[in-house]
């Protein structure tokens, strides 16, 4: 005959179990959010049909001024409770590219990630070669303040 005993946990053991449970719950929440963001990115069209022009490489460097964001969020950040800069940096860490929002247009940026990271969520002036909606970045600088 097998006798079963009830196991009582000490306070330290209860705290350890609670911490492990929180870690598992946080990991599941993070993976769920990451999966949702990646699914949303996959469903977004690369460009709007009928409105896009064929991707042409511009030989002369273009200068664009706008807000530094990421290619997934564009002008509308999805992570609630985070600043535009924090959301941009988090999305880039998860694999998206930096982007420049100019009016209603979003240009994906390639190159100079360190400078773009410093200007995440802020206005910047970017110089580079334009290929469709992609900019091969040659230089990045904080945008000059507009006169009032």
pLDDT in tens, the chain (148 residues): 666 666 666 667 777 777 888 898 899 999 998 888 888 777 766 555 544 444 455 567 888 898 888 888 888 877 778 888 888 888 888 888 998 988 889 888 888 888 888 888 889 888 988 888 888 888 888 888 765 5
Q: What 3-state DSSP class applies to 35?
A: helix
What value, to the nearest 5°, has the Cα angle with vertex 72 and ends 137 and 125? 30
CB neighbourhood size of 115 (10 A): 17
* CB-side neighbour CA atoms (13 Å) of 14: 5
CA 86, chain centre distance (Å): 8
pTM of full prediction above 0.85:
no
Other CB atoms within a 10 A radius of the CB of residue 7 amount to: 6
């Amino acid at each position: 005959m097998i006798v079963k005993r009830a196991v009582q946990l000490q306070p330290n053991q209860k705290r350890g179990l609670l911490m492990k449970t929180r870690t598992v719950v946080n990991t599941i929440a993070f993976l769920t959010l990451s999966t949702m963001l990646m699914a949303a990115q996959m469903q977004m069209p690369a460009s709007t049909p009928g409105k896009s022009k064929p991707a042409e490489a511009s030989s002369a460097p273009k200068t664009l001024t706008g807000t530094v964001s990421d290619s997934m969020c564009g002008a509308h950040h999805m992570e609630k409770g985070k600043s535009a800069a924090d959301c941009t940096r988090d999305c880039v860490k998860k694999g998206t590219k930096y982007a420049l929002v100019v009016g209603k247009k979003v240009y994906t940026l390639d190159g100079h990630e360190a400078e773009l990271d410093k200007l995440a969520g802020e206005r910047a002036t970017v110089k580079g070669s334009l290929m469709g909606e992609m900019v091969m970045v040659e230089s990045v600088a904080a945008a000059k303040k507009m006169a009032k």
